[in-house]
Amino acid sequence: MASYDLWTYSSTTVIADTDITGFSVEALDGGIGKIDEATHEAGGSFIIVDTGPWIFGKKVVLPAGVIRDLDLDTETVFVNRTKEQIKNAPEFDKSLMASAKPLAVLGATGYTGGLVVERARALGLPLRLVGRRREALEAMAVAGDEIRVADARDDSALREAFDGTFAVASLAGPFLETGDLPVAAAIDRRAHYLDTSGEQAFARLVYERYSGRAEANDVVVLTSFGFDYVPGDLAARLAADGLEPLDEVIAAYSVAGVAASAGTRRTIGHVMRQPQVAWESGRLIESRFGASTRTVKFPFGERTVVEWSGTEPLTVPRHTQTERVRSYVRAPKAAARTARIARLAAPLVRLSGRVGRGPSESRRRRARFAVVGQARGPKGSRRVTLTGHDVYGLTGLLIAQGAAALRDGEARGVGTLAPAEAFEARAFLERLAPLIRIESEENL
């Protein structure tokens, strides 16, 4: 076989429309394992063979051209190599293979999408820009970028767009309305997945629906991986360190000078009408905006906070042993009485999201925030405060750094993971400088 054919499937083997993942591999002198993954890239196709007990669990890479036959009935792939030749094939290095694949950015031409693309380029991540309008994608693409046209509601187009990527960053909200198919398509293509959803109800759906599928395909799913609500989860983990089991963990947010983008305003309108939960007595319970209020100490003094739909009640119990978890935002106590009004106003907020695009860079940089994680239990209490600026810039950096960490194999497991479950909290915060930092850690 000529060398230029080695990385292409033979025309005599019907592969293109067949998912051969899990098929047995038969060498010239007997069985040698199962196919863990198969790629279908022109001139660069290969299979990854999990040799299991044959070579002590080693995974090796074989060019697609070594496949000589395929039996669909017995789900067996026959290769023109001996067991010894396969044993000596290059071992699969997940991080090296991922580094050659692009990060797919769904919704790249949107306001937050542009920030993710900017940060990803700065980190040297190869990119595949995905969106509905080719002309808009071409306008923002630079040399080396790939382009795919796909709508978040088109399952087939999404799977094609995500094929051959190491991860997918989805910015196509509102997520409870349009976010489900991109998650499924990314997992199906064996790509890691991150999104910027600020919707607790969507995060719950992802954790409950996709955990098993993500684990089976050896990928990580990180939902709500932006300013909403990574800082609160990381701060909560740092506050809880060494104090478990705990009676209570809270996360509280304070933001000032933040102007919402059109996409954010649309999402807020949807979130106002979505169900909300809290973590109480070791389980999820129904809650609502303003269900509880309390006083929290921020760097600028004590302020009233009201309960809201942060994802910490979903994420913190995944890595921290605690009886209660609630998420709060700084607001006057009177705001707790507006929940019913907010639901009525939601359609108006959604309509306002059709106007404008997003804050300018100078206005973004003027925005300031503080996030407090507080843990309390029999062993003591601790408060950890994070501070920073540029909420939207931080979201772009979170997605880019999260994708880079996944590419480099730094996640502590697979499946649907919380931020502090996937990465060590303190180390990951260091990757986000100078947009966020640990302001203080206090034992109470």
Which pLDDT belongs to residue 211? 95
Q: Is the pLDDT of residue 216 over 60?
A: yes
* Mean pLDDT computed over 419-434: 97
Report the distance separating Cα 184 and Cα 191, nearest Å: 10
Q: Within 13 Å of residue 215, how many CA atoms lie on the same side as its CB?
A: 11
* Mean pLDDT computed over 132-140: 93
- Using the 3D structure, point to which of 74, 92, 110 is the last residue of a domain: 92
Query: How many residues are given for the chain?
Result: 444
Which pLDDT belongs to residue 315? 98
* Mean pLDDT computed over 429-441: 97
Residue 48 banded pLDDT, cuts 50, 70, 90: confident
Q: Is the pLDDT of residue 367 over 90?
A: no
Q: What percent of the chain has pLDDT over 90?
A: 61
- Of residues 418 and 343, the one with the higher pLDDT is 418
Range(s) of the domain holding residue 381:
230-391
Query: In whole angstroms, how far apart are CA 150 and each of 157, 187, 252, 257, 340?
Result: 5, 17, 37, 35, 37
Q: What is the pLDDT of residues 182-197, one digit of tens each?
A: 999 999 999 999 999 9
Q: If DSSP codes are grouped into helix, strand and coil, which group holds residue 205?
A: helix
- Using the 3D structure, point to which of 68, 92, 116 is the last residue of a domain: 92
DSSP letter string, 220-266: EEE-S-BTTBHHHHHHHHHHHTTT-SEEEEEEEEEEESPPPPHHHHH
- Return the bridge partners of 284, or none: 279
User: What does the mean pLDDT of the chain come to?
Assistant: 86
**CATH code, domain carrying 35:** 2.30.30.240
* Mean pLDDT computed over 163-192: 94
Q: Tell me if 120 is assigned to some domain.
A: no
Contacts of 315 (CB under 8 A, 6+ apart): 203, 224, 229, 233, 418, 419, 420, 421
Which pLDDT belongs to residue 200? 93
* Mean pLDDT computed over 178-184: 96
Are 308 and 254 spatial neighbours (Cβ–Cβ below 8 Å)?
no
Q: What is the pLDDT of residues 222-267, one digit of tens each?
A: 999 999 899 999 999 999 999 999 999 999 999 887 554 455 445 4
431: closest CA among 413, 408, 442?
408
Which pLDDT belongs to residue 98? 55
DSSP letter string, 318-331: HHS-EEEEEEEEE-
Q: Identify whether 245 is preceded by a cis peptide bond (ω within 30 of 0).
A: yes
Q: Tell me if 320 is assigned to some domain.
A: yes
Scan for tokens 């920030």, then name that residue.
115
Q: Tell me if 20 is assigned to some domain.
A: yes
Which pLDDT belongs to residue 341? 42
Q: What is the pLDDT of residues 74-104, one digit of tens each?
A: 999 999 888 888 887 777 766 555 567 899 9
**CATH code, domain carrying 285:** 3.30.360.10
- Using the 3D structure, point to which of 345, 372, 391 is the last residue of a domain: 391
Q: What is the pLDDT of residues 312-352, one digit of tens each?
A: 999 999 999 999 999 998 876 665 565 544 443 333 333 33
Q: Tell me if 218 is assigned to some domain.
A: no
Which pLDDT belongs to residue 12? 56
Q: Tell me if 215 is assigned to some domain.
A: no
Q: Tell me if 278 is assigned to some domain.
A: yes
Number of domains in the chain: 2
Q: Tell me if 178 is assigned to some domain.
A: no
Query: In whole angstroms, how far apart are CA 360 and each of 118, 330, 367?
Result: 15, 24, 11
Q: What is the pLDDT of residues 375-413, one digit of tens each?
A: 999 999 999 999 999 999 999 999 999 999 999 999 999
- Of residues 109 and 60, the one with the higher pLDDT is 109
Q: Tell me if 66 is assigned to some domain.
A: yes
Which pLDDT belongs to residue 5? 53
**Would you give the end-to-end CA distance of the chain in angstroms?**
71
Name the least confident of 46-60, 65-79, 133-147: 46-60
- Of residues 366 and 444, the one with the higher pLDDT is 444
Q: What percentage of the chain's residues is helix, strand, coil (to nearest 5)? A: 35, 30, 35
- Of residues 43 and 100, the one with the higher pLDDT is 100
